[in-house]
Amino acid sequence: MGNNTVFAVTVFFICFRECIETTVVVSVLLAFLKQAIGGPDGDPATHKRLVKQVWLGCGLGLFICLCVGAGMIGAFYGLGTDTFSSTEDIWEGVLAIISSLIISLMGAALLRVSKLQDKWRIKLAKALEQQKNAEKPSKGRFKRWLEKYAMFILPFVTVLREGLECVVYVGGVGLGLPATSFPLAVVCGLLAGILVGYIIYKGGKETSLQIFLIISTCFLYLVAGGLFSRGVWYFQNHAWSKVIGGDASETGSGPGSYNINQSVWHVNCCNPELGGGGGWGIFNALLGWTNSATYGSVLAYNFYWIAVMVGYGAMLYRERRGSLPLVDPVFNRIGAFKARVKAFIFRESLEEPTPAEASGAVGHTGMMEKTSEVGVSTVRQAEP
């Protein structure tokens, strides 16, 4: 993961991504309010009240998140996670691979951030639909309250959810990083996310936005590929340290610091691990550069990209030719199960997911929800 003590690239991307999602929701809400009741023949007082609700929900959610996040990270470092960050290779390897997976799964969502708008428009429409039915006396008071303050609840919950997700991700990804590398990355991520969200709200040129997103996604995948390779490298380094009795550090970056039998290339310079790594540390964090490549790390890097190609190929195939054999039925099952669970919890009537949704944009976001769940659970496993 590099020893960059100033700027944690992965943390930056996570904050950036989560912030975009939040701003998209807020922007959709604001746009919707403007359209529905903010017009010349609307109700300025209600509009103002509802906009206030949106911002209030947003602000409160953000505040809680920051508190929780600060508390969590404070607790991590306060309780001495520095023992983990102390070059325990196996630990670093696990974290690198987990972050790599998280970033990879998130990357696809970032790429399709414009799709989020569609997703949230549908959700909002559903919410309003239910609001219309709210007059029905069968609903409980709580539900009615929920609906009355939907304009507060929705951004609040979204911000809270994205924010907590972000905290968990940052916690998971950043455990191996020095605490000093967090603040700048978090602030930059949030600022960049808000900027992009604002562009989306203003309805900036979608094409240039999309190109921007593609470029940033590519970057994200470069980082993730590097992390994946690095993770494997750490495992091998751990094995090597065990072989030579734990004095790999004594040998610096010269001969003996690596297993010649596993080495693909080794240059006695440009070590991203020593002395902060300098420029090589950044090179390492962004592109996975190492001065001592092993068979494992090179293969991992290449297999990572093959997996990315297969994944994106499959998604492309699905978009163009309809559902994938084998894979989609499984996702549908999972989707159906989730819907049932949700219905059970909220005591709602079960909405069967339509097969049409499984393909295209909505189905895709469904899949992303699923995958991000996977990400969360892996992170939880990683927590001590």
Partner 1 sequence: MASSVRGLLLCLSAVFFCLQCCQAKTVQFDWNVTWVTANPDGLYDRKVVGINGQWPLPVVEVNKGDRLVVNMYNGLGDKSASIHWHGMFQNGTNNMDGPSMVTQCPIVPGSSFTYDFTVNQNGTYWYHCHTNYCYPDGYRQALIVHDTEAYFNDMYDEEFTVTMSDWYHELIEDIGPSFINLANPTGAEPLPNAFLFNDTLNTSISVQPDKTYMFRLINIGAFVGQYFYIEDHSFRIVEIDGVYVEPQEADILYIAVAQRYSILVTTKSTANKNFPIVTVADSALLDTIPSNLQLNNTNWLEYDASAAHPQAVMKVAVATELNPFDDVNLVPWDHEPLLPDPDLTIDVTVIMQDLGNGASYAFLNNISYTKPKVPTLYSVLSSGDLSTNSEIYGEFTHPYVLGHNQVVEIILNNGDTGTHPFHLHGHNFQVIERAPPYGPNFYSYLNGDPVPYNPSNHTAFPKYPARRDTLVLPPQGHFVIRFVADNPGVWFFHCHIDWHLSQGLAMTLIEAPQQIQERVSIAEDQYAACRAGGMQHEGNAAGNTEDFLDLQGQNKQVKWLPAGFTDRGIIALVFSCVAAFCGMAFITVYGMTGLETKKSKKREAGEDSNSN
Nearest to 17 by CA among 120, 105, 101, 96: 105
HSE value, Cβ hemisphere, 13 Å, CA-based, for 85: 22
Q: What is the DSSP string of 86-99?
A: TT-HHHHHHHHHHH
Q: Which two tokens stand for residue 294?
A: 């092993």
| Block residue for tokens 């590519």 | 218
Q: Which two tokens stand for residue 167?
A: 């905290």
Nearest to 100 by CA among 209, 229, 203, 217: 229
- DSSP-derived letter for residue 326 is T
Q: Which residues contact 84 (CB under 8 A, 6 or more apart)?
A: 91, 175, 176, 384
Q: What is the closest distance, in whole angstroms, from the C-beta atom of residue 365 to partner 1 in the complex?
A: 12
Q: Which residues pair with 265 in a beta bridge?
A: 293
| Closer by beta carbon to partner 1, 205 or else 347 | 205
**What's the one-letter identity of residue 193?**
G
Residue 292 and residue 265 in contact, taking contact as beta carbons nearer than 8 Å: yes
Helix (H, G, I), strand (E, B) or coil at 235: helix
Q: What is the closest distance, in whole angstroms, from the C-beta atom of residue 250 to partner 1 in the complex?
A: 6
Q: What is the closest distance, in whole angstroms, from the C-beta atom of residue 141 to partner 1 in the complex?
A: 41
152-171 in b/e form (b: 16+ CB < 10 A) is bbbbbebbbbbbbbbbbbbb
| Closer by beta carbon to partner 1, 69 or else 296 | 296
Residue 366 and residue 335 in contact, taking contact as beta carbons nearer than 8 Å: yes
Q: Which residues pair with 292 in a beta bridge?
A: 266
| Closer by beta carbon to partner 1, 72 or else 222 | 222
Angle between helices 141-148 and 150-174 (to 10 degrees): 80
Q: What is the closest distance, in whole angstroms, from the C-beta atom of residue 16 to partner 1 in the complex?
A: 16
Q: Which residues contact 245 (CB under 8 A, 6 or more apart)?
A: none
| Closer by beta carbon to partner 1, 111 or else 192 | 111
| Closer by beta carbon to partner 1, 82 or else 319 | 319
| Closer by beta carbon to partner 1, 42 or else 360 | 360
Q: Using CB under 8 A, list all residues that contact partner 1.
A: 107, 111-112, 114-115, 206-207, 210, 213-214, 217-218, 221-222, 225, 243-245, 247, 250-251, 255-257, 259-261, 264-268, 293, 298, 301-302, 304-306, 308-309, 312-313, 315-316, 319-320, 360
Q: Which two tokens stand for residue 81?
A: 């996670």
Burial degree of 80 (CB within 10 A; 0-12, 13-18, 19+): exposed
Angle between helices 89-111 and 206-243 (to 10 degrees): 170
Strands (E), 249-327: 263-266, 292-294
| Closer by beta carbon to partner 1, 86 or else 302 | 302
